[in-house]
Amino acid sequence: MKNQLKFRSLVLTAILMMSVTSIFAQSKTEKFKVYGNCGMCETRIEKAAKAVEGVSSAEWDKDTKMLEVTFNSTETKVHKIHIAVANVGHDTEMHKAKDEVYNNLPGCCKYEREAASGEYDHSHSN
């Protein structure tokens, strides 16, 4: 009887450890360039990224123009985060914001846009 209890306890512990490991394995951190200038840009970019289901944190550095996001890779993909940020007016490495959205940004938020539009995928939608 004692051996059976030890075995059950060992099995439950193993199952618990595998569950915890798989939960942490789903958390992914990515960094990518997002164009912007100021604190208002930072707020807008981070808010857009955090609004994507599965994103747990988003930090944009206005000096390096790099956004670091942590997300659950079973709930979202980094591509969706790029789209969300572009939809609020900020170009990323993957997506260019629509001109009308960019043009509605406050003056201090209007960054120099990349000339090579071929770098971007224009297929995203609002």
**What pLDDT, on a 0 to 100 scale, did the predictor assign at position 18?**
61
**What pLDDT, on a 0 to 100 scale, did the predictor assign at position 26?**
87
Alpha-carbon distance 103 to 42, whole Å? 17
**What pLDDT, on a 0 to 100 scale, did the predictor assign at position 124?**
47
Q: Do residues 52 and 76 touch, judged by C-beta distance below 8 A? A: yes
33 SS3 class: strand
- Domain range list for the chain: 27-113
pLDDT tens, position by position, 35-59 = 999 999 999 999 999 999 999 999 9
Tokens of 71: 């997300």
Centre a 10 Å sphere on the Cβ of residue 38 and count the other Cβ atoms it contains. Answer: 13
Average of per-residue pLDDT across 86-90: 97
pLDDT tens, position by position, 92-107 = 999 999 999 999 999 9
> 54-75 burial, b for 16+ CB within 10 Å, e for fewer?
bbeebebeeeebebebebeeee
Give residue 29's pLDDT band: very low, low, confident or very high (50, 70, 90): very high
Q: Which CATH class is domain 27-113?
A: alpha beta
Give residue 114's pLDDT band: very low, low, confident or very high (50, 70, 90): confident
pTM beyond cutoff 0.85: no
**pLDDT at residue 112 is higher than 80:** yes
Q: Provide the percentage of residues in the chain whose pLDDT is more than 70.
A: 71
